[in-house]
Structure 1
Amino acid sequence: MTGSLWRSRSFLLLWGGQTAGEVGARISGVAVPLLAATVLHASVFQVSVLAVLGWVPYLIVSLPAGVLADRVDRRRLMIGCDLGRAVLLLALPVGALTGHLTLVLLYAVVTLTGVLTVFFTVAYRTELPGLVGPERLVDANAKVTMSQELAELAGPALAGALVGLAGAARTFFVNSVTYLISAMALALIRAPARERVAAERVGLRQAIAEGLSFVRRDAILVKLLACTAVSNFFVMATHGVDVVFLTRELGASAVQVGLVFSLGAVGGVLAGTVADRLTRWVGTARTIWVSMVVPGPLYLLIPAAQPGWGLLLFAAGFAAFGANAMLYNVSALSYRQRITPPPLLGRVNASFLWISYGSIPLGALAGGALGSAFGLRPALLIAVLGMWSASLFVVFSPLRGLRDFPAAATRSDDAPGDQRRGQQREREAGRRD
């Protein structure tokens, strides 16, 4: 597939639906704790449990989600996840209006919505390569990731405005609509669904093992997974203390904190606008390790921030990280999607989510522990150095000897035995992928 993605109706619908869902997720990220704190009068610990429940599904259902994404029509799976999330979120304002809103209900909605989000994410990342083709993967992933950054900028402000106008509970009516928009956009895609030659003849455990085994056998994927997991750990360690650092050490107001993070997020947005051209110039494979190494020294501006105008140092360091995250995530995901055989892609994507996201709650706890033990500024210094150190995994990897990604995988490349035999039978019967 060649040509501009702006002329691809299927991609634009997928992208538009995903963007609507991202905005909905950002609204939830603000409205859920506000609902717990202001309406249900939850304690600090009870509110913190909500954050944990948002990440737990990645540890529990990522691997089964990968198996399912390799076996079923992924577009229908994504539509089902969107509709399910819309219905679940409607339970909150309905519960508030009928007097049945409780903390237990909120916990249940957050957990079940998180489960559906995991299934949607795995299916989405697995479906995208089939819609755009290997030559347009970097551009497609850059556009999608940039919409996530824009949602990060606009979503919290929109959520705050909605909560102020309609109240925390009624905000979820709008939140539910964003997922309905996503479902409708996906339903309008007319591109033919790709055939599935999934591991339906093997059990769940073996199917999961095949995805993990593929990652383990690929030297570059192993390094990417280690880099991502370590980076996520230290990023969350940073986030565990950054707001407290800004408010207590630097005396920043709530408005200033919001502005600092908004300015920092601009780095990711700007990087997204040039990601496709930059990776073509630097090299699609080379961009992975260059994007991890080059911005690293600027991370030191985060713990070096001072009160007043010195807050801009924090914003600059955060912007450098945003640019790094954009370029690295786009390139690393594109590599994974390109070299993984289609019958395994759902399980390989799920394997990455399971391990790399599994380090996130641990990192948040580590950040708090470091802040308590050494102070906020030293904790931030340790965390940003840890973020930069993650680059060592990709610097000392086969990526350093490559300029561009290798050729895209075919359906039979490195496919498990049962799948390869099934594919051979399909070829003999004259069927096409």
Structure 2
Amino acid sequence: MTDTAAPQRLSRDRRFVRFWVGDGVSQFGDRITELAIPLIAVTSLHASAPVVGFLTAAVWAPNLVSLLIGSWVDHQQHKKRLIVAADLLRCLVLLSLPVAHWFGVVTIAQLFVVALVAGLGQVLFQTAYAPFFVSLVRRDQYVEANSMLSTTRSLSFVGGPALGGGLIQWLTAPVAVLVDALSFAFSAFMVRGVRVEEQPVVRDDASSLGRRAWAGLQFVGRHPYLRASLACVTTINFFNFVASALVILFASRHLGLSAGVIGLALGIGATGGALGAITASRAVKVIGVGRTVMTGVVLFSVPYAFLPLAGGSTWSRAAVLGAVEFVSGFGVMWLDVPLNALQTAVIPDALRSRVVGAFSTINYGIRPLGAVLGGLLGAWLGVEPTLVLAGVGGALAVLWLIGSPIARTRTIDDLDEVQPDPLTSR
């Protein structure tokens, strides 16, 4: 018998653990800011509902240029430096809020600038993260790594809002943002200490930024795995944001739940995401990548169709809301963890950042449209029918996968041959 050493688990890989800890801390910090910035606008600056809505949109707006940013990032050799820069950029812009608060000069305009710049930092981070990830993690560890990172993110949604609420009440909202700023500084410090041998950059200096972006978009459109997954997740995000625009309204006005009860139900429901992230790797081993993804698509969306069935006592109505969020959160992790691993495996190194940019531009760009339509349909059709429509519509996104090679994929090693890199095959 040949004695072969078992591959090291990621939990014992100091490089990955260092990145994982830094990312986890910044995730909890994000939950604080997600509560604090709207509260600053509403309580301190007396912003109207439309202003708060536009402020939320400002966070997502930079994703519309993700494709261009990703195309630029693909030509940069040191992706780790860009991740550190993205963390420091968000740290500095968030620090401006407690400083302005201490001088009594916080304005709505500043909040918009903070939202836009922080969103831009997030786009830079996510486009640089994709190639950095494959330098940090082996191919056979993609699912495990995504599961660990997604678990931490899910846990941040369970405990983060409570932590954020307590800090905001104790320190005031602008000062609480300081905690998030420091979390980004910590993340930058941790990532900077991660030693990786980054993939060599394949440059096509003869092409303009626009042409490189177009090449990335064309690659996504031609690739059977990426085309199907983009169509699927874009459809899901559209319908889920139709529902998201109405969930809090429905829980408050139609179910008559207080803010505290809604928060408790959503926090308990968020544990479904943590459980889904933990079990996703096991599900892939048992039923395969494709079936896990397809199950996740349905479980992520269809629970919203059952939300109008809530009735009875206050706690039974809250239980239905929590159950809907639990199943939906569980489903999104069964979708995200294996699908992210699959996408990582099929994207050529030279195109990783611009492919992520293409996904973000389309997939995240559709979210504000879904939210606007959700509000309009809620007023026209009624909230309950719109929730049912959103749940069914999102679940039907699985049809994009049924005829695709994703449905036939059992393991990452079973993937069809990656299509030639358009930058290197000429």
Counterpart residue identity of residue 69, structure 1: V
Aligned residues: 418
Shift of residue 112, structure 1, vs aligned partner: 0.8
Structure 1: gaps of 5 or more residues: 422-433
Partner residue in 2 for 1:122: 127
Moved more, 36-45 or 246-255: 36-45
Which residue of the partner structure matches residue 62 of structure 1? 66
Q: How does 1:178-327 map to 2 (within 5 A)?
A: 178-293=183-298, 298-307=303-312, 308=314, 309-327=316-334
CA 1:2–1:122: 2 relative to 1, 3 Å: farther
For 1:272, what is the secondary structure of its paired residue? Answer: helix
1:360 corresponds to which residue? 367
Residue 197 of structure 1, CA deviation: 1.9
Q: Secondary structure at the match of 1:101?
A: coil
1:331 and 2:331 matched: no
Q: Secondary structure at the match of 1:190?
A: coil
2:144 maps to which residue? 139
For 1:6 and 1:324, how far apart are their aligned partners in 2? 24
Q: Is the 8 Å Cα contact of residues 220 and 399 (structure 1) preserved in structure 2? A: yes
| C-alpha contact 2:223 2:419 (8 A) present in aligned 1 | no
Q: CA deviation at 1:413?
A: 5.5
Find the aligned partners of 1:297 and 1:33 in 2 and give their Cα distance: 29
| Sequence identity (%) | 32
Q: Secondary structure at the match of 2:412?
A: coil
The answer as to 2:111 corresponding to 1:100 is: no
Task: Determine the structure 2 residue equivalent to 1:426.
Answer: none
Alpha-carbon distance, 1:183 to partner: 0.3
Task: Measure, in 2, the Cα distance between the counterparts of 1:195 and 1:398.
Answer: 29
Q: Supply the distance in 1 between the matched residues of 2:68 and 2:407 (Cα, whole angstroms).
A: 33
- Aligned partner of 1:384 in structure 2 is 391
Q: CA separation in 2, counterparts of 1:262 and 1:301?
A: 19
Query: TM-score w.r.t. structure 1 length?
Result: 0.92
Structure 2 unaligned spans of 5+: 1-5
Q: Post-superposition shift, 1:12?
A: 1.1
What residue is the counterpart of 1:82 in the other structure? Answer: 87
Contact 1:339/1:407 (8 A) holds in 2: no
Name the Cα RMSD after superposition. Answer: 2.0
For 1:298 and 1:38, locate their aligned partners in 2 and report how far apart those are by CA, in whole Å. 33
Question: What letter corresponds to residue 101 of structure 2 in structure 1?
Answer: A
1:87-126, Cα deviation, whole Å (9 max, x unpaired):
1111111112123221111111111111111110121133
> What amino acid maps onto 2:254 in structure 1?
E
Q: TM-score scaled by structure 2?
A: 0.93
Q: 1:296 & 1:91 partners in 2: Cα distance? A: 38
Q: Distance in 2 between matches of 1:299 and 1:332?
A: 22
After superposing the two structures, state which structure 1 stretch, 300-309 or 158-167, moved more: 300-309
Instruction: Tell me the secondary structure at the aligned position of residue 270 of structure 1.
Output: helix
Partner in structure 1 of residue 23 of structure 2:
18
- Whole-Å separation in 2 of the counterparts to 1:83 and 1:375: 44
Q: Partners in 1 of 2:157 and 2:41 — Cα distance?
A: 21
